[in-house]
Chains A and B, each alone.
Chain A
């Protein structure tokens, strides 16, 4: 018996893993690599969202100086369209022109057809719930939201309502000639890890007194 045991399980050669150990090592490294890749990819998306905002802030300064085609980086196909701030939460973002393709990865987007800041009609902004628009979950009725257009004039909107809607039946259409309204939308619920069909909508109306 002991002899049998010895022959069937030879001592490991130096510098080499035993059979089981080798498989284990492979599994371990695979898990580590997959984990790091996933983590890296997730972190990259976060980093892209933050870094692009820094670059966009520079482009925004140029836009305010009258450059109508200020690009955050030379090969970008996005341009800044407005600046949004929620002073109470010290939160804000540079808003991009359009919500197409990959634009939202870099910043919240201004939906095509939206009214101009301070003008009658609906302005619709969409942003990612896990980066630029995370702060929306803490917004309260009565909050002041400041939206600055390319002309540099800030317009204050007062938060009147929040609601949760289905993405396909939002009832929101940019533009029109109704009261000057700002709508911010992001995925809902917050903190959920997978995409959903629900959207969180924040509605704010122009605070006539405060804008010039």
Chain B
């Protein structure tokens, strides 16, 4: 009970309007409602909030007070293909108690997070990389000793939690996080994204809980076990935000830049050369409610088609290799053998099956005369339209379209036989590109078994998964696509079917570079990631990170462009020096190992050992490692909490809540918010605020059927029919 009051700040997991970085700051509060009863009229409910305010859960169920704000500054340094980003979070404790802040925030998918820094006064404390459990223990220990401490944990490869303990009354704490990533190069355009919003797949929170608990290869211990005590944001998306963000980009493209564009945020550009520029937000600061995207293209009409960079760490060279294969000259898409698998189990009922039917119908329309295809439906039983893939003749296509229209969702989800059937080699592919398109909501539990089937049976087939419905099992589908060297497309809404499927077909129809391989100079030891190398689709760039002993010679990247061999050689000696390549290599190695872990023929523990050692060696946050920073000097006097706990309850008049309550308040003059208002007290089992923890909660399913209406309407119609019959009989009798 001596633990400091904790303010659990929880970011946009639950936020549809999507504020990030502590956009949800919430008190973990079970408290006696009695003391608050008098004040109740001055508390707000989410619906009362008239500004984009962050609200803290108060001790009265369903009532809120406004949270302290979080300021964020982002500095992105782009140097050639590598971007290093520093995120500075400034957290103000405007309460009069000792609090703990926890934010969950997104970072780019492939970000290598290696630095955590905490600023106290003018001192900086650097975070150390530790095994996750140990880091947590260090953090908890420091927290209980009253020392300032920060912990950075990975929840998903693109979702992180930052916890800061023992922030004193009225104190400001600054935490810095640094990560690096490679910039994207697609269709001759370079781009970089900084996510401020967590995508809907992390929404709502209970999904995360479920995913964390699964034996899905992540085995993440929930870093916020009391997640349910965290309130979501109660933001009015129309009205600004209390979570301002400043952003600055320093670009050193390495070539003369033609077009430079910030997609969503107007920026002031200060050029200091043809390839160098400094960018700042024109608005100064922006609400953190939409992703930042910067794109740039070279002045020359084409982007460089190959690049090689090197970093030497402790005498060991690390290379980053980027190659854009030429777009194939052939205009007609290569002949393909396409198998569509459609999930018609009961869980696909309703909207999902409609989306699936529409997607399939579109897919069938797009087949060209030279293609072969088949359709496989599965629920409890597997049913294929044709015994083996058939030519896309008008008659066969008509039969398929007709079949698709009549698909109904019912029964169980026996996915395995369907997958086996689709992957089976019928021996008549005649060198066609084999593609399997798999439409499902992935509501299955035997992922491992399916992954095993995919890796064992797929041979040269490419698997493209299409997730149907609002909450598909994206873990299963993205992994299946990665194992099958394809892509994962998510369709969450009927309106998206045309656009998403269209994009997928374009990818499927364009020739890809297959059988990609990189050959390093003879005799040199090399560890290159990703492994195996993926197919490269039209306009995409292959990025390889390698730890190679070679210092001379040529590295060859080869592949098959359609049936034409394609090869490009890069002189190792001419590699340009760039910082941070070793970290990118380590990050790519970790993602590849995580993927391996999903394969049935690997031992998870062995893979974990490898992940752990590479993450520790390169100072990276991973599923198994966290960064922890601890101040040496205790800050919170023992028993401080007990004193503050007896402060009479004072409503936060002023404390920036003015707007909520309908009058202006000035924060600096405002009285401190009493800690008790947010206090974590012993849960009262009788208190009914337990289910009130998350304000919006899960959407409740529709539980009204039309059966009564149908019964009633049916009876009325039958009665009307009989009455009419009587009337007509009388008329006839009359007539007779």
Contacts and interface: CB of A to CB of B under 8 A. Distances in A.
Q: Do A and B bind each other?
A: yes
Interface of A: 18, 20-21, 24-25, 27-32, 34-43, 45-46, 49, 71, 74-78, 99-105, 109, 111-113, 121-122, 124, 126-131, 133, 160-161, 165, 167-181, 183, 185-187, 192-196, 199, 201, 203, 205-206, 208
Contact of B711 (A43, A78, A196): A43
Interface residues of B, number: 75
B677 to A, nearest CB: 19
A38 B685 contact: no
A70 B411 CA distance: 15
A161 B412 CA distance: 37
Contact of B700 (A31, A130, A185): A185
Contacts of B62: 171
Contacts of A74: 380
7 tightest Cβ-Cβ pairs between the two chains A and B: A39-B714, A35-B717, A176-B228, A178-B690, A42-B710, A38-B714, A31-B721
B703 interface: yes
Contacts of A160: 688
Contacts of B684: 179
21 contacts: A20-B731, A24-B731, A28-B725, A35-B716, A36-B718, A37-B714, A75-B381, A102-B350, A104-B701, A111-B698, A160-B688, A170-B697, A171-B695, A173-B698, A174-B698, A176-B226, A179-B690, A180-B685, A187-B704, A195-B702, A199-B700
Contacts of B412: 71, 75-77
B697 A169 contact: yes
Contact of A40 (B210, B686, B714): B714
Contacts of A102: 346-347, 349-350, 409-410
A142 B725 CA distance: 54
A74 B412 CA distance: 9
Given A18-B735, A31-B721, A76-B412, A172 B688 contact: no
B699 A167 contact: yes
Given A31-B717, A35-B721, A172-B691, A42 B707 contact: yes
B691 A35 contact: no
Interface in B310-328: none
B471 to A, nearest CB: 9
Interface in B9-46: 30
Given A39-B715, A42-B714, A173-B691, 19 more contacts: A21-B732, A24-B724, A30-B721, A31-B724, A34-B714, A35-B717, A38-B714, A77-B347, A126-B700, A126-B701, A128-B703, A168-B699, A170-B698, A171-B696, A173-B697, A173-B698, A187-B703, A199-B700, A205-B688
A36 B702 contact: no
Given A77-B411, A171-B697, A193-B709, A178 B691 contact: yes
Contacts of A194: 704, 706, 709
Contact of A42 (B687, B708, B718): B708
B228 A177 contact: yes
A205 B686 contact: yes
A173 B227 CA distance: 11
Contacts of A129: 703-704
A46 B714 CA distance: 14
B345 A35 contact: no
A45 B710 contact: yes
B700 A172 contact: yes
B225 interface: yes
Contacts of B725: 28
A131 to B, nearest CB: 7
B713 interface: yes
A177 B683 CA distance: 10
Contacts of A178: 30, 228-229, 683, 689-691, 693
Find the residue from A18, A38, A203 having the highest chain B CB count within 10 A.
A38
B413 interface: yes
Interface string B238-261: 000000000000000000000000
Find the residue from A71, A109, A179, A205 having the highest chain B CB count within 10 A.
A179
Contacts of A99: 701
Nearest to A130: B708
A18 B728 CA distance: 11
A89 B53 CA distance: 46
B498 interface: no
B717 A32 contact: yes
A129 B700 CA distance: 13
A27 B728 CA distance: 11
B702 A29 contact: no
Contact of A113 (B209, B409, B690): B209
A58 B410 CA distance: 21
A174 B213 CA distance: 14
B417 to A, nearest CB: 14
Contact of B721 (A29, A76, A161, A193): A29
B589 to A, nearest CB: 34
Contacts of A168: 696, 699
B698 to A, nearest CB: 6
Nearest to A160: B688
